Amino acid sequence: SSCTSCNSCDPAAAELCTVAAAADIPTVWDRHATQQPQCGFGSLGVCCRICWKGPCRIDPFGKGPQRGICGADRDTIVARNLSRMMAAGAAGHSEHGRHIALAMQRVGRNELPAYRIRDEAKLTAVANRLGVATEGRAIGPIAYDVATLTLEDYRNQDHHQACNWITSSLPKKRVDKLRALDVLPHNIDATVAQIMARTSVGCDADPTNVVLGGIKGALADFTGMCLATELSDAMFGTPQPVVTTANLGVIRKDSVNIAVNGHNPLLSEVICDVARTMQDKARAAGARDGINIVGICCSGNEVMLRHGVPLATNYLSQELAILTGALDAMVVDVQCIMPSLGEVAECFHTRLVTTMDENKMPGATHVSFHEEHAEETARTIVDMAIGAFTLRDPKRIRISSAVSKAVVGFSAEAVIGALAKIDPDDPLKPLVDNIVNGNIRGIALFAGCNNTQSTQDGGFQTIAKRLAKNNVLLLATGCGAGAFAKLGLMTPEATDAYAGDTLKAVLTAVGEAAGLGGPLPMVLHMGSCVDNSRAVAVATAIADRLGVDLHELPLVASAPEAMSEKAVAIGTWSVCLGLPTHIGTVPQVTGSTVVTNLLTRGAADLFGGYFIVEPNPEAAADTLLGAIEERREALGI
Ligand code: NFS
Ligand code: SF4
């Protein structure tokens, strides 16, 4: 079912957008409509605002100006705009990673009572991988050393010395290839700063060189992502399969409902911990079912995978959570939080709480979050939610009927752990054998955002069903994973309904061996956007097992609704790791043939991976299947 006014496949969106319309509250879809037609220059990437002689724009039809005032042509302008997006994406993910690493240093010194190392085995594995001594040492000093070595990736000034986290996260052949192309970052912060510097007025004007600089930034993004995921696992636990629920129906009438929205588990984890201790207080305020934490966007994915916290929704329908009239607080930290939320919350009793001093919003109450007072801050926020609960307007409560079961929690460790139940001595063997014999044709990673330019969740659904039917193993992260969870595609039932026979047989054998009592879900939820590194970890393990590089394997990626600068960075590193990478959004680069050709063709020669731009999901699925078969043929399997 697709609601035309909200352009979504999500039944909850259709339900709640009628509430928005009746109350005359604009949603993201209404604002999308008011922006039409969107600027053609911007869509092509040929608008430049890098200096105040501008803005300048190139006439795409070749009649008007072909150079900006400084002389920059369309290729330079497009390349600079694109590289700056990659730098911004890298900054977002690596700030998240830095925040975690700094917290872990202090956990190691016993300075943060709200946190501890919950997964000592993971920390030890990470330490061994990075070359930090573990033998006979207490966990605190190991954590401190791991965090300190991690922060070296933000501090090292020797540009011959690549970041520890990228060189230890990829097959050696891939590292060598990236080094030969001079795109391995030596320092995440320096790489971001260098992109900003070289793309400012009057600097790098060679479009290929500019994009290669951006690519180093995208690989810095990957670096930040790897370290964020792995250190978060050590502090909060490595995900293991868990059964939970997803979609707006997880918001309950008789609970104090608190949504955690954003990205960083440092905040959402403590909210979960503290809420557990405040259940009686919520009941005393009249909430018969106590406190109900629900997740939105990647914060939601983080706590869903680690603790089975139900996922309310993904990016595009975050406003709708408030329209249920039963959301008592929405707590946000960083990234992908719509600035409209304050306005929507003001129409209801919902408390919108910002927590990061560098991410405030109009219409929100700011409760400054710092790790050393994490529990106190979390208690204040939960108290605010309990207070808001008593102010609900019962007439405006619209509990959604949309809710799906979701089996989630497939970290690389969980995947390999499940396989080990079949072959304890050589866990990868069952997976590799089934890829080689063709029972599994290949592996596809679904990642990225929602975008109003597409039908929400629609491309994910169409492409995934088609690939599953053709026996492709499916992984997902971010808002893509949110889409699958909401639509009931992360269930054994979906495997039975949609997977091709040979894929179904493998998923059933592994699921049963792993004690799940049935097949693995059709799509394996690997986590938030930073957890895309988990998929790379699985791919790297397979490549190492076969002695090949990543671009030789039948692996593809797809972001049907790519939107954010972070998604631009992720898509780009996916290409640079060797994957055919589909995006369903036409990127803002098509004003330059040089840049477009580099991304869709030239990249294949350099990296083995390339972008596939295809807004039509059916056509995209066919192209991805073709790419998988092409790789199989080249491998001789
Ligand atoms: Ni990823 Fe997560 Fe979602 Fe896109 Fe935004 S929440 S970090 S950027 S919109 S997937
Ligand atoms: Fe115009 Fe050049 Fe300034 Fe860009 S940098 S706004 S093209 S003058």
Res 346 pLDDT > 70: yes
Let me know: does 477 contact 527? Beta carbons within 8 Å.
yes
pLDDT tens digits, 583-635: 999 999 999 999 999 999 999 999 999 999 999 999 999 999 999 999 999 99
Ramachandran bin of 608, using left for φ above 0, alpha for ψ from -120 to 50, beta for the remaining angles: left
Question: Ligand 1 center to residue 64 CA distance, Å?
Answer: 38
pLDDT tens digits, 98-144: 999 999 999 999 999 999 999 999 999 999 999 999 999 999 999 99
DSSP per position, 581-629: EEESSPPTTTT-HHHHHIIIIIHHHHHS-EEEE-S-HHHHHHHHHHHHH
b/e 578-608 (16+ beta carbons within 10 angstroms → b)? bbbbbbbbebbbbbbebbbebbbebbbebbb
Mean pLDDT for the stretch of residues 178-204: 98
How confident is the prediction for the chain on average, in pLDDT?
Answer: 97
Nearest CA to ligand 1 atom 7: 529
Mutate to test the pocket of ligand 1, among 563, 568, 585 (most ligand atoms within 8 A of CB): 563
Let me know: does 473 contact 554? Beta carbons within 8 Å.
no
Strands across the sheet containing 329-332? 365-366, 351-354, 329-332, 256-262, 291-296, 311-313, 242-246, 404-408
Closest atom, ligand 1, to C-alpha of 316: 9
Res 289 pLDDT > 50: yes
Res 403 pLDDT > 70: yes
CA 170 from centroid of its chain's CA atoms:
19
pLDDT, position 35: 97
Q: Which ligand is nearest to the CA of 447?
A: 1
Res 191 pLDDT > 70: yes
> How far, in Å, CA of 365 to CA of 354, rounded?
6
Question: Ligand 1 center to residue 96 CA distance, Å?
Answer: 13
Res 413 pLDDT > 90: yes
3-state secondary structure of 563: coil
Nearest CA to ligand 1 atom 9: 449
Mean pLDDT for the stretch of residues 306-321: 98
pLDDT tens digits, 358-372: 999 999 999 999 999
| Block residue for tokens 């089934």 | 434
Res 4 pLDDT > 70: no
Q: Which ligand is nearest to the CA of 311?
A: 1
> How far, in Å, CA of 471 to CA of 633, rounded?
16
Question: Ligand 2 center to residue 41 CA distance, Å?
Answer: 14
Tokens linked to 282: 């919520």
Mutate to test the pocket of ligand 2, among 48, 73, 74 (most ligand atoms within 8 A of CB): 48
For helices 412-420 and 501-513, give the axis angle rounded to 10 degrees: 80
Q: Percentage of residues in the chain with pLDDT exceeding 70?
A: 99
> How far, in Å, CA of 81 to CA of 84, rounded?
5
Confidence of residue 42 (pLDDT cuts 50, 70, 90): very high
Res 454 pLDDT > 90: yes
Confidence of residue 65 (pLDDT cuts 50, 70, 90): very high
DSSP per position, 450-486: --TTS-BTHHHHHHHHHHHHTTEEEEEEHHHHHHHHH
Indicate the residue type of 611: F
Let me know: does 210 contact 79? Beta carbons within 8 Å.
yes
Closest atom, ligand 1, to C-alpha of 477: 10
Mean pLDDT for the stretch of residues 499-519: 96
Is the ipTM value over 0.90, yes or no? yes
Check pocket membership of 72 for ligand 2, CB cut-off 6 A. yes
Nearest CA to ligand 2 atom 2: 70
Cα of first residue to Cα of last residue in the chain, in angstroms, is 40
Indicate the residue type of 622: D
Closest atom, ligand 2, to C-alpha of 49: 6
Question: Ligand 2 center to residue 602 CA distance, Å?
Answer: 27
pLDDT, position 5: 77
Tokens linked to 195: 């992109």
pLDDT tens digits, 141-184: 999 999 999 999 999 999 999 999 999 999 999 999 999 999 99
Nearest CA to ligand 2 atom 7: 68
Res 97 pLDDT > 70: yes
DSSP 309: P
Question: Ligand 2 center to residue 26 CA distance, Å?
Answer: 36
Q: Which ligand is nearest to the CA of 81?
A: 2
Let me know: does 564 contact 598? Beta carbons within 8 Å.
no
pLDDT, position 253: 98
Check pocket membership of 73 for ligand 2, CB cut-off 6 A. no
Mutate to test the pocket of ligand 2, among 49, 52, 56, 58 (most ligand atoms within 8 A of CB): 56
Confidence of residue 284 (pLDDT cuts 50, 70, 90): very high
Mean pLDDT for the stretch of residues 382-408: 97
pLDDT tens digits, 222-239: 999 999 999 999 999 999
pLDDT, position 1: 43
Let me know: does 73 contact 552? Beta carbons within 8 Å.
no
Phi, psi of 191 (to 5 degrees): -65, -45
Tokens linked to 440: 């599994």
pLDDT, position 3: 59
3-state secondary structure of 522: coil
Say which residues have a Cβ less than 8 Å from residue 202's Cβ, sequence separation at least 6: 70
Question: Ligand 1 center to residue 45 CA distance, Å?
Answer: 22
